[in-house]
Chain A
Amino acid sequence: MYRIRFHGRGGQGMKTASRILGTACFIEGYEVQDAPRYGAERRGAPMFAYVRVSHTTIYERGVVPVPDLVVVADASLMAIPAAGLLTGCTPQTILIMPPLYAETPPLPFPGVHLTMDMDKIRETQISPSHLSSLWAGAAARLCGIVTETSLLQAVEEELVLLGEEAVAKNRQSALFGWRLMEAHTGCVTEKREPSSKAPPPEWIEFPWDPVSMSAPAIRSPETSRGVITGLWRSVRPVIDDARCGKCWWNCSVHCPDSAITVNKEGAPVIDYAHCKGCLICVEECPRRAITVRPEERDPEKGDPP
């Protein structure tokens, strides 16, 4: 059985990529399972989807704990432990992803690490909205069990609702991904033995409260502060204090994520650990005091590492 995991951010099309690959394998006559990991995935938030492909009936269920192939759409996910990119990877696992960021330390990845040539993709002017097909095409070639015809048919079947033009562009994109991986055709190896068990979840034991106490108090408020949604950001809003008129009812009130606090002097302060980079504050600031800068992380300024 082949076990494949696609990782990306909500909106990057990895669910679609997994479906195209799954359908292509199904057309080839395999038994297939493909499913996105439904959790709280949202545009920008880490998500993954997984595919199982087998000659015989598939009895495994749930996420793929030990993958043969890992496809990653976004190198910035490496910084997010909860995204679990490298979970369960073995020396036989193939990893394909965009180039790592310059400052990334060497990956604790035991398998074969392939890099997708994003510059080449940019040159072809494939639109980001068609990249799911590209990753599906690449994954199909790496597995080596899908013909070009089945791949293109799968793109068509999965995306027919988007209309002819989008299907045509996605077919091109799928073929491009397919061709880029030519040198590595079939490098993913199939594992026959059942994949090893996932580690048990880390349960937290809660003692029972007496009924008289159990409502309506809550045990620990505001635990969401521990979730670093600042890692979703691709650009960063920066307030120019010299231009700021301290009219926080424009930026702070409109920030959906409570990521602009107001200090004692009445000046707005952006909480970069949680700002998702929606840039509403930039658009709403009447003095144009907030500029958009490329994302850089400075842990000394309280940024997430």
Chain B
Amino acid sequence: MNKPTIKKITDLSPHRLIAPGTPTCAGCGALAGVHQIYDILGEKSIFVNGAGCMTLLATYPFTPFKGSWLYTAMACASAGAQGVRDALDILMEKKRRQSDEAMQVVVLTGDGSASGMGLSATSAAMDRQLDFICICYDNEGYGNTGHQYSRSTPYGAKTATSTKGFHGVKKDLFAIWAAHKPTYVATVTAAFPLDLAKKIEKASKMKGPRMFIMLAPCPPGWHFDPPHAVNMGKLAVNTGIWPLKEYIDGKVVHTLIPKKRVPVEAYLKSQGRFAPLFLPGNEGQIQAIQAHIDDYWALVPPS
């Protein structure tokens, strides 16, 4: 029963569970991922959504979901998930709901929230071994408020609050989460639907905290045209900038190791937000980014 059912791309569902008509931008890489996830988790998922772009999905009186959705303040989606999980467990204990109706409680949180003010609530939820799935869609900035930088913005990216390029370091949320030793941590992105689907299906059959970080190419925030959104995700993976990996049983395993990594410049050049890196005199910065990626992959054992 716990065998995976999704092995090849044609095993994906041809039917979309999330309804159209939502107000996300045309070409939104976060919504692309959320719909792929929902197709697998199914309509019995209950979403708990911290303030951010995805809270626009269910703006009263409209919802694209078949099931429930709870809006929480930006810092406390994972605390909200605890409340929902407890309520469901109590209902089942009192036999008001059958246990086969067990529902997945799914947190949707942006990177700004997950790597900033929401980190504490999520850390505490992992400490308590909360039985939930947590999805951080990483558009690398405060998208909903006009793309200011977050602690997940990559070095060099222009945002509304770093007009000359961000000079901080992208926080390694994967490492931070994995350090809590939760049941599962994985990175995904919608441009690789099979990798995403396998990981979500695997996690859906586990208990405890199951954590996802999903790269979410964002046309207005990253300054590229909407048709290229999927290509941005492919480039992120093929340059090695966005490693697809999972943490399970105390080990980190890479699920896709690019055979020959594309130079990072191809990714940086395709997005207007990295324009500051291409100003004369900044050549060294691109080399430094490449060196950083090379160093990362030098430590990854071949599969």
The residues of A with any CB-CB pair to B shorter than 8 Å are 10-11, 39-45, 161-162, 204, 212, 215-218, 221-229, 232, 248-249, 252-259, 261-262, 266, 271, 273-274, 276-280, 282-284
Asked whether A216 lies within 8 Å of B231 as measured between CB atoms, the reply is no
Is B264 on the interface with A (CB-CB < 8 A)? Answer: no
- The CA-CA distance from A262 to B39 in the complex, in Å, is 14
A252 to chain B, nearest CB (A): 7
Asked whether A277 lies within 8 Å of B26 as measured between CB atoms, the reply is yes
User: Pick the contact of B68 from A44, A215, A252, A276 — CB < 8 Å?
Assistant: A215
Asked whether B23 lies within 8 Å of A223 as measured between CB atoms, the reply is no
Asked whether A222 lies within 8 Å of B14 as measured between CB atoms, the reply is no
Name A's interface SS: loop
Chain B residues whose CB sits within 8 angstroms of the CB of A227 once the complex forms? 21-23, 62
State whether A258 and B16 are in contact (beta carbons under 8 Å apart), knowing that A221-B63, A221-B65 are contacts in the complex. Answer: yes
Residue interface bits B138-178, CB-to-A below 8 A is 1, else 0: 00000000000000000000000001000000000000000
Which B195-244 residues have a C-beta within 8 angstroms of A?
219-220, 226-231
Most chain A beta-carbon neighbours within 10 Å: one of B19, B59, B96? B19
Chain B residues whose CB sits within 8 angstroms of the CB of A44 once the complex forms? 25-26
- The CA-CA distance from A183 to B25 in the complex, in Å, is 38
- The CA-CA distance from A31 to B173 in the complex, in Å, is 46
B51 to chain A, nearest CB (A): 13
- The CA-CA distance from A215 to B10 in the complex, in Å, is 35
State whether A256 and B68 are in contact (beta carbons under 8 Å apart), knowing that A42-B25, A224-B21, A283-B228 are contacts in the complex. Answer: no
Size of chain B's interface in residues, with CB distance under 8 A? 53
CB closest chain-A residue, reference B234: A284
CB closest chain-A residue, reference B28: A256
- The CA-CA distance from A221 to B62 in the complex, in Å, is 9
Chain A residues whose CB sits within 8 angstroms of the CB of B219 once the complex forms? 43, 278
Q: Besides A42-B23, A255-B32, 19 other CB < 8 A contacts?
A: A10-B25, A42-B24, A161-B163, A215-B68, A222-B64, A222-B66, A225-B21, A229-B22, A249-B9, A249-B12, A249-B14, A254-B32, A254-B191, A256-B29, A256-B35, A262-B15, A266-B14, A271-B20, A274-B21
Chain B residues whose CB sits within 8 angstroms of the CB of A11 once the complex forms? 220
CB closest chain-A residue, reference B145: A38
B155 to chain A, nearest CB (A): 20
Asked whether B21 lies within 8 Å of A278 as measured between CB atoms, the reply is no
Asked whether A257 lies within 8 Å of B22 as measured between CB atoms, the reply is yes
Chain A residues whose CB sits within 8 angstroms of the CB of B10 once the complex forms? 249
User: Pick the contact of B64 from A45, A224, A228 — CB < 8 Å?
Assistant: A224
Chain A residues whose CB sits within 8 angstroms of the CB of B56 once the complex forms? 40, 42
